[in-house]
């Protein structure tokens, strides 16, 4: 099995898992993983992420250009922006969860998560006494413009594990699939807690 095929299978399994958790509905979201040559395996545009097959995963370069002539996910530039900014990121996951969608509409420019034991699920956070800042960006159908705004803000931040897009979903990443999936699960739990605290659930 090639490295591409191995990562494609990790993406297929992650799609099943996240769809099963109800956070990748109706062809939304996108998933990607970086290969050792810095190319990226990413879901094609329009595929249902709960029922992916190997042919639904395609190669792109770090600038987001197709390497097989097909069209990659509409939000490709948000994935490549993360890979360019964080050399240690090897998997990027973008769920469209109800929690992220609703909570992002209730926040200003930031969501601050603090005094939660589960913050320790994020790599390198070792105590609940931590304020995790999650930037919230306004949604935009012009992905190139949105990717520019996201990167402008991420580069000012020392520690960032993910960001919200208002009324849309969230992005998170990890050094491998296990870590990226753990970050998705932790964010979902914490978004759920925040909505309950606000009396919205
Ligand atoms: Zn999206």
Q: Per-residue pLDDT tens for 15-63?
A: 999 999 999 988 889 999 999 999 999 999 989 999 999 999 999 999 9
The residue-averaged pLDDT of 185-192 equals: 97
pLDDT at 74: 86
Ligand 1 centroid to Cα of residue 95, in Å, is 7
Ligand 1 centroid to Cα of residue 150, in Å, is 14
pLDDT value at 201 more than 90: no
Residue matched to tokens 């990027």: 92
Ligand 1 centroid to Cα of residue 169, in Å, is 6
Ligand 1 centroid to Cα of residue 171, in Å, is 9
pLDDT at 155: 95
Q: What is the pLDDT of residues 128-184, one digit of tens each?
A: 888 999 999 999 999 999 999 999 999 999 889 999 999 999 999 999 999 999 999
pTM: 0.96
Q: What is the pLDDT of residues 67-118, one digit of tens each?
A: 999 988 889 999 999 999 999 999 999 999 999 999 999 999 999 999 999 9
pLDDT at 189: 97
């Amino acid at each position: 099995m090639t490295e591409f095929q191995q990562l494609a299978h990790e993406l297929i399994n992650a799609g099943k898992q996240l769809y099963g958790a109800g956070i990748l509905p109706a062809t939304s979201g996108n998933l990607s993983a970086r290969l050792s040559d810095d190319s990226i395996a990413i879901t094609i545009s329009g595929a249902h992420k709960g029922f992916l097959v190997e042919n639904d995963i395609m190669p792109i370069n770090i600038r987001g250009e197709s390497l097989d002539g097909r069209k990659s996910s509409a939000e490709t530039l948000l994935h490549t922006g993360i890979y360019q900014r964080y050399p240690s990121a090897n998997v990027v996951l973008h769920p469209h969860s109800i929690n992220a969608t609703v909570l992002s509409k209730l926040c200003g420019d930031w969501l601050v998560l603090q005094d939660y034991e589960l913050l320790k699920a994020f790599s390198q956070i070792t105590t609940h006494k931590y304020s995790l800042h999650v930037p919230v960006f306004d949604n935009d159908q012009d992905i190139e413009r949105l990717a520019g705004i996201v990167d402008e803000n991420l580069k000012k931040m020392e520690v960032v594990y993910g960001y919200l897009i208002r009324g849309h979903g969230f992005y998170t990443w990890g050094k491998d699939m296990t870590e990226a999936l753990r970050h998705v699960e932790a964010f979902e739990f914490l978004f759920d807690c925040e909505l309950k605290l606000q009396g919205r659930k």
